[in-house]
Amino acid sequence: MSDPLIMQAIARLVPQGARVLDLGCGDGALLAYLQEYKGCTGYGVELDDANVLACVQRGVNVLQLNLDQGLKVFADQSFDVVLQIDTLQHLRNAEVMLRETARVGKIGIVAFPNFAHWFNRLSVLRGRMPVTKRLPYQWYDTPNIRVGTFADFADLACKNDLQVLDAFGLQHGQEVRLWPNLMAGTAVFKLQRR
């Protein structure tokens, strides 16, 4: 996610000086932003070669690891914040990674495209999978292996005994707190272990 407005919205949730683990950190833009503007330290985890290179070029600590193989290299509660920004839809087992996020981080921040956004609903009502800025792929050619909704994720957090500290939608970089499941293209959750 390189949209600066979304990046800033996520960054607002991260405490100053936090030790951060960014799962699926992409080209490292968010971590670089957090380092520069919020004095954060930490690591990004990324699988893609080009993204790993981009992180090294930015001077962001990046670890080339496959998230589907777990977070074994990270100790319990060793980060203030674990970020999963637009990562969940690429994971084979999102529930395991959610538990791992809560194990490794004191706080987890999860953001993903909300499939229940009214625009997507309309598209499906018309009998078509949506193609939007947040879900820009054709159904037959997409890196996303799942889609989910704001409401679905709230259930999953509850099932895993995670406390939702904050939850809202993002639309055009603005927080959406009224009917986020309907009104926002992006779902954002801030969680911790109960």
Partner 1 sequence: MRLIATPQSMTFEAPLPLQSGASIRGYSLSYETYGTLNADKSNAVLICHALNASHHVAGVYADQPDNAGWWDNMIGPGKPLDTDRFFVIGVNNLGSCFGSTGPMHVNPDTGRVYGADFPVVAVADWVNAQARLLDALGIEQLAAVMGGSLGGMQALSWTLQYPERMKHAVVVASAPNLNAENIAFNEVARRAIVTDPDFHDGHFYAHGVVPKRGLRIARMIGHITYLSDDVMNEKFGRELRSAVNSATGYKYSTQDVEFQIESYLRYQGDKFSEYFDANTYLLITRALDYFDPARTFGGDLSQALKRAICKFLLVSFTTDWRFSPARSREIVKGLIDNQRDVSYAEIDAPHGHDAFLLDDERYMNVVRAYFGQIANSLGGAA
Angle at 100 (CA atoms; ends 30, 6), nearest 5 degrees: 25
Residue (72 or 194) nearer to partner 1, CB: 72
Residue (45 or 188) nearer to partner 1, CB: 45
**In the complex, minimum distance from the CB of residue 37 to partner 1, in angstroms, rounded to a whole number:** 19
**In the complex, minimum distance from the CB of residue 181 to partner 1, in angstroms, rounded to a whole number:** 36
Neighbour tally for 110: CB within 10 Å? 26
Cβ-based neighbours of 34, under 8 Å, separated by 6 or more = 11, 14, 18, 20, 40
**In the complex, minimum distance from the CB of residue 5 to partner 1, in angstroms, rounded to a whole number:** 28
- Which stretches of the chain bind partner 1, using CB under 8 A? 19, 41, 43, 49, 52-53, 55-57, 59-65, 72-75, 78
Whole-angstrom CA distances from 174 to 68, 116, 152, 165, 169 are 32, 17, 22, 19, 8
* Dist CA 33 CA 1 (whole Å): 12
**In the complex, minimum distance from the CB of residue 24 to partner 1, in angstroms, rounded to a whole number:** 15
Residue (63 or 129) nearer to partner 1, CB: 63
The token duo for 116 is 């229940």
* Dist CA 155 CA 74 (whole Å): 26
**In the complex, minimum distance from the CB of residue 123 to partner 1, in angstroms, rounded to a whole number:** 37
Residue (26 or 130) nearer to partner 1, CB: 26
Residue (15 or 160) nearer to partner 1, CB: 15
Whole-angstrom CA distances from 15 to 159, 170, 194 are 27, 19, 20
